[in-house]
Amino acid sequence: MRSPSGTAARLMPCVTTTPRVARAPHRIGVLPGEGSGPEIVRVALDVLDAVSRATGLPFDVRFGGAIGIDAERESGVALTDEVASFCEETFAAGGAVLAGAGGGRFVYDLRRRFDLFCKLNPIRTWRALDDVTRLRCRRPDAVDVLIVRDNVGGVYYSTWSREVVDGGIRLAQQTIHLEPEVRRLMDVAARMAALRRGHLAVVVKHGGLPELSALWEAAARDAAAVHGVEPLALDVDLAAYRLVQEPESLDVVVAPNLFADVLSDLGGVIAGSRALTFGGSYGADRAAVYQTNHGSAHDLARTDRANPAGQVLALAMLLRESFGLAREAELIEAALDNVWARGIRTADVAGPGSRGVGSREFGRCLTAAVQVGARARLPESA
């Protein structure tokens, strides 16, 4: 099965610099999150348990505290010192964090705290879900785009001033883009493109943000020359159009924080549901956090209606990129494809003739598919 990264090579060596010492069992720090987060994280952990039982691989799963809005209610901050220490201990042990959604400033504070400067958001389509995708591609599984997102700069980390002028309010914003930060991100994106199909699109806004666009475009040209890939500058509106109209034409797309945030969410339209979106945030010291791209969905909490697929795909990405367990990640992805192909769907991706199930039932079907798939695909590990 085709990997969501579009290549059998792991992504993290392009992001990180220090060698990993093999450790067993693999440490996974879990932050269940808020809203529907704990339910879909539970499904992902059931899938992990099925992988462990099928392959014999041990995992050291540990749980952290409240994040996001839940943490703000308890302590006044979205990222507590307790949770930050939990993440730091996980990273120090050679592990990675699997997180549910957290509101407020949680993800922004977490990224700044650990310099998780790069986020990778794969966008792909699934042949088994061709009947519910919002777009019609030339081939049902043809879309394979990687969004490389600036995680620690741009408008999300602006400083603001506020004053009353003539009976109204004037907000002044200062946004800082440091050239070294842009260039280190661009180096990751160009390396990604070199591992994939050799095309690098940098998202800019020439008329509205000429100085910023010039910086990003120059960094893209330089990184592309180093890694032997083809650079292309796209205004953000054209990038959005092409992502929807002709996603097969795009390979690696690198963008500032705000632009990439919006473009990544378009991946849900392409795939058929926002619940199918996911990604990983990486730091230069091999710190890594994996999450779905969608929100907490408080309206679906405790209703057994949330689609856990994005969280499960985030788990597969964690296994592949942080631990080098490509076969195990592919086993999870194949199980998802198998369950969908049999018409077993959550409500958001239910198509003609499919059988609608809740989160828990979908998870049970998925873990069973992992076990069946393991006997066929990983006989030497059974």
Q: What is the CATH number of the domain that holds 362?
A: 3.40.718.10
Q: Do 165 and 188 fall within a single domain?
A: yes
Does residue 152 sit in the same domain as residue 197?
yes
Q: For position 167, what pLDDT does the model report?
A: 75
Same domain flag for 89 and 75? yes
Look at residue 129 and tell me if it is in a domain. Answer: no
**Rounded average pLDDT over 116-135:** 88
pLDDT, tens digit, 9 for 90 and up, residues 183-229: 999 999 999 999 999 999 999 999 999 999 999 999 999 999 999 99
> Which of residues 221, 241, 271 is at a domain's end?
271
Q: Is residue 215 part of a domain?
A: yes
pLDDT score for 162: 85
Chain segment 366-377, per-residue pLDDT in tens: 999 999 998 887
pLDDT at 2: 40
264, 169: one domain: yes
Question: Which range has the worst mean pLDDT, 109-113, 175-179, 323-327, 365-369?
Answer: 175-179
- Is the residue at 126 inside a domain? no
Same domain, 280 and 362: yes
Are residues 283 and 360 both part of a single domain? yes
pLDDT in tens, 75-123: 999 999 999 999 999 999 999 999 999 999 999 999 999 999 999 999 9
Position 20 scores a pLDDT of 43
Q: Which of 241, 271, 301 is the last residue of a domain?
A: 271
- At 137, the pLDDT band (50, 70, 90 cuts) reads low
| Residues 345, 321 share a domain | yes
Split at pLDDT 50, 70, 90, the class of 263 is very high
Boundary residue ending a domain (271, 292, 326) = 271
Within a domain: 128: no
For residue 164, what pLDDT band results from cuts at 50, 70 and 90?
confident
Contact 341, 129 (CB under 8 A): no
* Residue range of the domain that includes 358: 1-121+273-382
Mean of the per-residue pLDDT values of the chain:
90
How many domains does the chain fold into? 2
